[in-house]
Amino acid sequence: MILFIDHRDSFSWNLIAQLRGLGYEVEVRQSIALKTDSIANYLQNKQALFFSPGPGHPRDYPNSLALYHAAKGKIPIVGVCLGFQMMFEAEGIRIGRLPEILHGVQTPIRIDLKALAYNGIQNPLRVGRYHSLGLPITKVPEGWKATGWDAKTDRILSFENQALQLFGFQYHPDSFLTPDGDRILANALSISLPRTPNRQHVSKITKGNLWEQHGAFTTLRLSIRRLGAFPLATLWFPNAHANRLHRDLSALGAAPELPFILKNRFVGATKLQAHSLTQGEWLVRWSCAPPYAAVEARPLAACNPSINGKCLNYLRRLPHQKNLYYSELLNQLQQIDRRSNELLLVHPNLQLMLEGVTCNLIFIRDGQFFTPSNQCLPGLTLQLLESYLPPSLTLTKITIPTKTIHQYDAIVTCGTGRGITPIHAIPELNWQQRKTPLVDYLKKTYQSLIKTTYDRIEFPID
């Protein structure tokens, strides 16, 4: 059981969810609510102590400082952001204000590859930073070891003391800006803290698919191009896809290993399969029905500039997870030309617009974006795209009956295989696209997302 001390920070529950997702039991207590006359009692039956991020200065949280001293040397202690600063402050090293405020900024850091927390992590590491305070010095207390440094300023951003099992990170492992965050926390807590033993292990990953099995899948884009005389492959958003796959498997009660282990297995299998693929764009499907897993690659069929929609009255089984009960939809897909058509799902009883078979739908009206709210699975591409939109252009979830379709100027498909592609017409509903600049805006936003993301893996093909 981890005792998690919350300093009333908006990121605390991200970390709590991350720890629970890694298989740890977590008890949450507010720092301000701790009773100073019974600090030691909070540590009974606890296997680790975790200090959250938070606003203000470490000196503002005397209860947490007292708890650190009570736990030091007895159980592992991990601190993130303010928690990192808290541990230095408790050791008599004053924390000061930095020349610049970093909020939601991704920076590269140099890491000590021999550090326990960075086992299996590549150097340099990219991390998400949210802080205005930091260490004014470059030294650490006796017995501590600096393990990560800002690549530009050499400011210390992580440390560990393996003898006392102390770990501090002046960045957010829970942020999507820290792609290796899961593994870093799992490494730090692996010394003596057991995870809940309820995880199945994936056996060897094979080729093909696992349709109609109890499990989940996700589809990634793989680009193969030539760099000089050698082919180079790029796998897009592997961390986000692995986390999504793990989430859906957990919802189905079939969660296998930790997300980063799952990702590493599938990435390794994808690299092996890439050797047999030619130059071009591919879709790679990761399927998992523990203990079985499979990888399947197929060429990405180029879409026409505009496509038509064809309606299918169908409600997905388990619509809120991307599950493997999918073969009936695949049979329907094989009956259309996917280069010029998209199969649109319509609720069979309520006659509501849902989604494409392999994509989400974005409806545009009066300069605003809308997505269906009923029985729809929000795909990863949609979620990533939404994070890039400004507050004035948020995606609003609403019910969209087929009889109201004439109210919308444009409908856009959004998915790994489609990217951003507008629908020209839906003949069955007598609907046809009208001009709006927001279609081009979505295309440009998606391209910006692709160009700037750090969540990709590039590897040569020998």
pLDDT at residue 309 is higher than 80:
yes
- Residues in a beta bridge with 129: 105
E-state strands within 44-124: 48-51, 77-80, 96-111
Kind plus residue range of the DSSP H or E element containing 391: none
Question: For the ranges 27-41, 55-69, 323-337, 429-443, which has the lowest average pLDDT?
Answer: 27-41
Domains of the chain: 2-189 (3.40.50.880), 205-300 (3.30.470.10), 307-451 (3.20.10.10)
Q: How far apart are CA 59 and CA 323, in angstroms?
A: 49
- DSSP letters spanning 265-276: HHHHHHHHHHTT
pLDDT-based confidence at residue 11 (cuts at 50, 70, 90): confident
| pLDDT on residue 200 | 59
Q: What is the mean pLDDT of residues 10-23?
A: 81
pLDDT tens for residues 62-118?
A: 999 999 999 998 999 999 999 999 999 898 888 877 777 677 788 899 999 889 898
pLDDT at residue 230 is higher than 60:
yes
- Residues in a beta bridge with 286: 218, 295
CA angle 214, 217, 222 (to 5 degrees): 160
pLDDT at residue 228 is higher than 80:
no
pLDDT at residue 138 is higher than 80:
no
| pLDDT on residue 342 | 94
pTM to 2 decimals?
A: 0.66
Question: For the ranges 11-25, 181-195, 336-350, 386-400, which has the lowest average pLDDT?
Answer: 181-195
Q: What is the mean pLDDT of residues 286-308?
A: 89
| pLDDT on residue 192 | 61
| pLDDT on residue 141 | 84
- Residue 432 carries which DSSP code? E
Q: What is the mean pLDDT of residues 324-340?
A: 89
pLDDT at residue 14 is higher than 80:
yes
The percentage of the chain sitting over the pLDDT mark of 90, rounded to a whole number, equals 47
pLDDT-based confidence at residue 13 (cuts at 50, 70, 90): confident
pLDDT-based confidence at residue 24 (cuts at 50, 70, 90): confident
The highest-confidence range among 34-48, 109-123, 397-411, by mean pLDDT, is 397-411
pLDDT tens for residues 236-245?
A: 999 999 989 9
pLDDT tens for residues 159-211?
A: 999 889 999 999 999 887 888 888 888 888 876 665 554 455 676 788 888 99
| pLDDT on residue 204 | 77
Work out the burial of residue 188: count CB atoms within 10 Å of its CB; fewer than 13 is exposed, 13-18 middle, 19 or more buried.
Answer: buried
Give the rounded distance of the alpha carbon of 394 from its chain centre: 20
Q: What are phi and psi of 120, to 5 degrees?
A: 80, 5
| pLDDT on residue 201 | 65
Q: Taking all residues of the chain, what is their mean pLDDT, rounded to a whole number?
A: 88
pLDDT tens for residues 418-443?
A: 999 999 999 999 999 999 999 999 99
Q: In terms of DSSP bridges, do strands 292-299 and 280-289 run parallel, antiparallel, or are they unpaired?
A: antiparallel
